Amino acid sequence: MFFEMNLAFFFGAFMTWGFLIAFLFNVFGKVVGFKDSYSVIITALIVFMSYFFSDQFVDFSQTTRSYLEWMTQDILTIATILIVHKIFKIKHHRASYYVYIGLTLNGLMFYLMWVDIQVLANQDPWWFWTVYSFGVNAVDYVMIITLIVGRDWLGLVRLGRFIRNKAIAKKERFIETQKEKRLSQAMLQT
């Protein structure tokens, strides 16, 4: 079931507070010494500020416009995190990758909801609306937990590295095969 409008305020406030707690926990951990990454602190702060400002300026009576605003805000949040890391030459923490993935998924769901309501003119709730409602909130919970825990607890970073390494190995095998073919052709020509 698609969440009612009054629950949207509750979930929005809960997520904002969750990101604030993640930020404060990481600052405390850095001061005390059991956390060692500025990347998580910066990421948590930027995401908290993004969610805080979106809660302040979203007009829920303009529902379809809100989806595009949220999508744009997620894109800007990702860009801000990347730029701040680049400017201050801070190495990305695995929690930052979870936030990138989470904000990308949320942005995609916002866009699909906008297409469903605005472009396709669908006004009746259907299964995608339920997937959207639970999906966006589940992704937010995963980002909050990851920012607090600071671990690759779902294995997404390991999975990404595995896929990247397989793709690199496949590319290297392809290049080797091409070199061998060129060498054998050159030997045949001589």
Question: For residue 105, what are the contacts with CB-CB under 8 A and spacing of at least 6?
Answer: 135, 139
pLDDT at 187: 77
pLDDT, tens digit, 9 for 90 and up, residues 89-132: 999 999 999 999 999 999 999 999 999 998 998 888 899 999 99
| CA nearest to 73, candidates 87, 94, 52 | 52
pLDDT at 1: 44
Element (DSSP H or E) covering residue 35: none
pLDDT at 3: 54
Residues of the chain with pLDDT under 70: 1-6, 58-64, 190
Whole-number Å distance between alpha carbons of 129 and 123 = 11
Whole-number Å distance between alpha carbons of 152 and 21 = 19
pLDDT at 105: 97
C-beta atoms surrounding 72 within 10 Å: 14
**Contact indicator for 13, 55 with CB cutoff of 8 Å:** yes
